[in-house]
Chains A and B, each alone.
Chain A
Amino acid sequence: MSSTYLEVGRGFTPAAAMTRFRILRAYLTEAKYESIRMLRMPSFGIPLLVLPVGLFLLFGVLIFGKSIQGDPDTGKWIFTAFAVMGMMGPGMFGFGVSLAIEREQGLLKLKRALPMPPAAYLVAKLLMALSFGAIIMATMVAALPVGHVHLGAGQVFGMSAINILGTLPFCAIGMFIGTSAAGRSAPAFVNILYQMMMHLSGLFYPLPKVLRAIRPIWPTYHLQQLVLWAAGVASDGRPIVHAAVLAGLTVVLMALSARRLVRVG
């Protein structure tokens, strides 16, 4: 055994303070490992990344490709539908379900006892969801040439940026469920809400009148309208209102969840 076993206690000179650089590094390390671990999860990483582009290629190209060819706006609409759908997963499943499970399993408790920078845990999940969103969006954009969807570079950039930021409201929803529900019931809640947001917001197909009227309660509706607007397709409502609704929802749900997390753990 070496004589310099751990040199514990020798590191506590004033010079060994936690510098800003090290704090930043702690945040990035947390985000890095959160992303790595999500990627390695068989039920999460690859399926979530590949599903949106896979479904777009299946429905938008293979099955309905011919009919879309003559109707450019429908092509763009189907493209935005799968792109928006892709942003839901990382926030709701990756952020929300993992938070609920880790609260239940004591990981959050250990992190709170350790000198982890206070927000690192949540910021890591947020960055993980944003990076997953970015990767999903990149795969969707890569599929554009085969999808008979013709967009200018500016439009592609604009809709990608908006859509990736669109992961945030879903992170907020995930965080809210993750802090309220028990680990075992969180996946069920998330699943139900995921299905409702996907099918009742008119993401993929026109809705009957009654459902059309209540579309504005779903964040997916607002995000799709924003992305359609960025793609230069006629959209409902005003972009600023859609953006405000999504931002407001994000702030309110995150604030409520953060409060609960601090009080209840």
Chain B
Amino acid sequence: MKNQDANNHCLAELSAASKRFGKIVALDSLDLEVRPGELLAVLGQNGAGKTTAISLLLGLEQPDSGSARLFGHSPHLIEGRRHIGVMMQEVFLAAELRVREHIDLVASYYPNALSAQCVMQSTHTESLADRPYGKLSGGQKRQAQFAMAICGRPKLLFLDEPTVGLDIQSREVMWAALRRLVDEGSSIVLTTHYMEEAEALADRVVVLAKGRVIASGTVQQIRALVVRKRVTCVTSLDLRQIAAWPDVESVTREQQRLLIATSNPEVVVRRLLAADENLCELEIRRAGLAEAFTELTQEAA
């Protein structure tokens, strides 16, 4: 019964998973779960443990302690893996095979796969169908890999940096595809270095550092963890003078504009306006996910 519950509520799960590579602790008792219908973004600097965490869920690595489950099975069993699609970052596929053939091959692994034609239509890769994989550009390779990842109608997709090398238009197409997949009930685990990508797509964000979860929640919640806000304006006031004010954490100049970081923007803005009547282009922004991420990971370091 418990197992069934696990199946219903959690598609993939790491519990207290630890993994060492020699002296390096890659994962330190990590808990991670993927729920149905969510897009989970796993963020972290290089070496934070993202790849190791995904490798455990895919059965590519074995945890030293703790456990990994995929659809209620050990990830080593093929049963669980029949529900997943995978897009890896550093993989060289056979250069001599055409895109259509690559999709056809991966589709043969699944019980109820889509035809290559159908997948290429949905992913707008029909124009690549008969081109040898080795002749594709970096971005086109990512598109082909994405088509391969979804051809088995996976319930859960693992995407490692899916939009690296894509032009803006192709990235938009892929984002739209990801949103549709989630709308149709699929779950996605996304690792990315692009904060805007996580910000645009993720239902939930997990930030890893040194093999542990240092923050987890919606994009809103993660941003709110960082109280600091950013005030920008064009002013004749002296940078050093402002830096000395209470509540001001840092001041930097970017061309004509001053960038002021503060956790108390109301007080700072009142004082700015009082000190400089000609102040203009005033803007107050809360921290974006990128800033939150930087701050969180710096604290953890």
A interface list, Cβ under 8 A from B: 1-2, 5-12, 16-19, 22, 25-26, 29-30, 33, 36-37, 40-41, 102, 105-107, 109-110, 112-118, 265
Contacts and interface: CB of A to CB of B under 8 A. Distances in A.
Interface of B: 58-60, 78, 81-84, 86, 88, 90-94, 96-97, 101, 104-106, 108-112, 114, 119, 122, 132, 150, 152-155, 158, 177, 180-181, 184-186
B141 to A, nearest CB: 13
A25 B119 CA distance: 19
Given A25-B108, A33-B101, A7 B184 contact: yes
B60 A37 contact: no
Contacts of A41: 96
Given A6-B114, A106-B88, A112 B105 contact: no
> Do most interface residues of chain B lie in helix, strand or loop, or is the interface mixed?
loop
Contacts of A8: 150, 153-155, 181, 184-186
A113 B81 contact: yes
Given A112-B60, A113-B58, A118-B78, A107 B92 contact: yes
Contact of B106 (A1, A2, A6, A114): A114
A105 B91 contact: yes
Contact of A107 (B91, B109, B155, B177): B91
Nearest to A18: B111
Contacts of B90: 106
A102 to B, nearest CB: 8
B88 A109 contact: yes
B108 A115 contact: no
Contacts of A36: 96-97, 101
B155 A9 contact: yes
A12 B11 CA distance: 14
The 7 closest A-B pairs by CB, nearest first: A11-B112, A105-B92, A16-B112, A29-B108, A40-B96, A113-B58, A106-B91
A33 B155 contact: no
Contacts of B93: 107, 110
Given A6-B184, A8-B184, A110-B88, A117 B58 contact: no
A36 B133 CA distance: 14
Contacts of B91: 105-107, 109-110
Given A36-B101, A106-B91, A12 B58 contact: no
Contacts of B186: 8-9
A105 B90 CA distance: 8
